[in-house]
Amino acid sequence: MSRHLRRTILAALVAAVAIGGWLGQSWLPAPPAEPVANAAASMAPTASPTTDASATPEPAEPESTPVASHAPVTQPTAAPSAPPATVSATPDLRVALDARLARFQAKTGIPGVSVAIVFPDGSTWRGSAGLADVATGREVTPDTAFSVASVSKTFTAALVLALVEDGRLGLDTAVSIYLPTAPVAPATTVRQLLDHTSGLRDFYHGSGIDAALLSRPGRTWDANRSLRYVGKPYARPGTSWHYSNTNYLVLGMLAEAVGGAPVADQLRTRFLTPLGLEHTWYQAAERPRGPLAHGYRIVGPRAALKPIDLSDGSDIAPYTSVVTASGAAGSIASTATDLARWARALYGGEALTAASRFEMVADVARTARLHSAIPYGLGVQAVSIRGRLTLGHSGRFVGSRAVTRWLPKQQLAIAVVTNASRTDPNRLVAALLEIVLPKPVPLCPVCSPAP
């Protein structure tokens, strides 16, 4: 069976779960009893420029029908209601997880790595290995933050959906109504930015941007500078799927225009403070809220190779130009613990309304019809890890790599953050889940296993 066909089948299964519950497993909220009206824009506020940056594109997930409400946003809570307490962080389990993490770090040669698992009963395992700063010998601890690159998109998507809940935005309304001068086709909708079907070319693929970023790593960029590198569109809006950091750069500008405050301030007010995410911050605009790991480049496959520190001497990791060029596409720094708690609140709790969570995941089916490279919705990847359905996002800069996943059936969250980009942290996610969870039933019994 071809890889694309397997992806299409997974997307169809995800959509089935979202709409009616696959095999009776209703881990997503049911859609609203009556269609919710899309909030039409009656104002076109001026955008305040956002910084933006991201080094390597990361996949995205699905989206479906418009959702909007004029009711005020509910206070988010971190914990899902009545989770099934199937596993917990027992002493023996903690020992096994610690040992597996240590082996992974030693074998891959990643300078530093941190992991957190939030179990259904609320207990948490936090593990760390290696160095946050190789030159000084500073070790990674569970409170060490890392640049999370495109995992930042989960925060930006949540903010945009919260503005939709407020009635300030409409998912299927043209972006030009809110941002008349935005460099997007007139028909481009908010939804198409969220699920990467806008056709906008990724500014990180622009000619000369790598040299511009690396020649002055300490320089602060803004959205306007990043947008200079946007090339000819991939396609007309709504006709294809192409992962593009430009989508989330523009979404940051849109959120500031409609929300009337910088993205950093809105994220802190709506999510970070209410959810107690005390070690998470928007690097392009905020000061560090705890120790931050340096980012490292490792050239070559061998584990013993010397890592090259990418720091420009500032308190932004991996370095200022790439983070500030990314803005809402990649500016977040966070700990593994905060990311796991964020995944639990976003996908299984009340960071957003049930209707918004439904919209977020149901869109996977829409992007699958456009041959998305990964099952992607409204700022969410819906992927299977060894037969287990997960929601989340991955992120990568030169100098950092991160992933966070929520397992809706098991009500479990896991996050991995690292300070090098050579090794995929999803490998560690899969290895740790094999320790924590029993062997799952395949999502599709008739499908051949992935290679």
- Can you list the domains of the chain with their CATH numbers? 3-40+56-436 (3.40.710.10)
Please tell me the total number of residues recorded for the chain in this structure. 451
Strands (E), 228-357: 281-282, 296-297, 308-309, 332-334
> Among 241, 246, 247, which Cα is nearest to 7's?
241
Q: Could you tell me if 230 and 206 are in contact, meaning their C-beta atoms sit under 8 angstroms apart?
A: yes
Strands of the 124-133 sheet, one edge to the other: 138-139, 124-133, 112-118, 412-418, 400-407, 388-397, 381-385
Q: Is the pLDDT of residue 283 over 70?
A: yes
Confidence bin at 441 (pLDDT 50/70/90): low
Which carries the bigger pLDDT value, residue 57 or residue 229? 229
Q: Is the pLDDT of residue 442 over 80?
A: no
Angle at 170 between CA 169 and CA 172, to 5 degrees: 145
pLDDT at 427: 95
CA 213 from centre of chain: 23
Q: What percent of the chain has pLDDT over 90?
A: 73
Q: Is the pLDDT of residue 40 over 60?
A: no
d(CA 298, CA 420): 7
Over residues 337-372, the pLDDT tens digits come to: 999 999 999 999 889 999 999 999 999 999 999 999
pLDDT at 305: 76
Sign of CA dihedral 142, 147, 153, 157: positive
How far CA 78 is from CA of 275, 276, 359, 416, in Å, comes to 6, 8, 20, 19
> Among 1, 27, 2, which Cα is nearest to 13's?
27
What's the mean pLDDT when you consider all of the chain? 83
Q: Is the pLDDT of residue 35 over 50?
A: no
Q: Is the pLDDT of residue 182 over 60?
A: yes
d(CA 113, CA 336): 9
Q: Phi/psi of residue 112, each to 5°?
A: -150, 150
Q: Is the pLDDT of residue 47 over 90?
A: no
> Among 384, 288, 392, which Cα is nearest to 340's?
392
Q: How many helices (H) and strands (E) does the chain have?
A: 14, 12
Q: Which residue has the tokens 């481009």?
A: 188
Q: Both tokens of residue 348?
A: 């299984």
Q: Is the pLDDT of residue 13 over 90?
A: no
